[in-house]
């Protein structure tokens, strides 16, 4: 049956590609000589992964996650087909109330708040990755 689990699986299936593409592109640019140097210095495979490889693609992983969240939040079609009848998520509520003139101010306020709240993870990811050009 349809339920919260089907919505989660649908969105995860739809969005995992975003994270995978970002990480795969970053892994293609990683200098493999760093991994070989770590292993020459005595690090095992697990230590090399957590010391060299993972920090190299961590920012791509975060960026893919943020992109996946943004696309998942805006994906009304997947939610419509995977949610049980009568379920109303925030994007579906906004979509349904856009045509109602009485609800226009409420929809505008919610959209403005969502834009402001979505800036927080973007700012945090920028600070965490250290790509700040000062």
Task: Give the Cα separation of 25 and 2 in Å (integer).
Answer: 35
What is the count of structural domains for the chain?
1
Is 118 within the bounds of a domain? yes
CA distances for 66 relative to 7, 120, 131, angstroms: 18, 11, 16
Which residue range is the domain that position 48 belongs to?
4-129
Q: % helix / strand / coil in the chain, to the nearest 5?
A: 80, 0, 20
Is 134 within the bounds of a domain? no
User: Burial of 12 by CB count in 10 Å (0-12 exposed, 13-18 middle, 19+ buried)?
Assistant: exposed
Contact status, residue 61 vs residue 23, Cβ threshold 8 Å: yes
Q: Shortest CA distance to 111 belongs to which of 82, 83, 73?
A: 73
Is 12 within the bounds of a domain? yes
pLDDT digits (tens, 9 = 90+) for 104-116: 788 889 889 988 8
pTM of the model: 0.69
Is 59 within the bounds of a domain? yes
Is 107 within the bounds of a domain? yes
Per-residue pLDDT of the chain (134 residues; tens, 9 = 90+): 778 888 888 889 888 998 898 889 888 888 889 899 999 999 999 999 999 999 888 888 888 888 888 788 778 888 888 888 888 888 888 888 888 878 778 888 988 998 888 788 777 767 766 655 55
């Amino acid at each position: 049956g349809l339920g919260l689990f089907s919505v989660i699986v649908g969105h995860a299936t739809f969005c995992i590609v975003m994270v995978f593409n970002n990480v795969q592109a970053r892994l293609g640019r990683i200098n493999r000589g760093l991994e070989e140097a770590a292993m020459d210095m005595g690090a095992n495979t697990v230590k090399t992964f957590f010391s060299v490889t993972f920090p190299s693609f961590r920012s791509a992983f975060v960026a893919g996650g943020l992109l996946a969240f943004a696309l998942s939040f805006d994906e009304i079609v997947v939610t419509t087909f995977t949610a049980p009848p009568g379920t109303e998520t925030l994007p579906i509520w906004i979509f349904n109330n856009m045509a109602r003139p009485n609800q226009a101010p409420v929809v505008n306020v919610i959209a403005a708040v969502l834009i402001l709240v979505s800036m927080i993870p973007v700012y945090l990811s920028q600070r965490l990755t250290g790509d700040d050009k000062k």
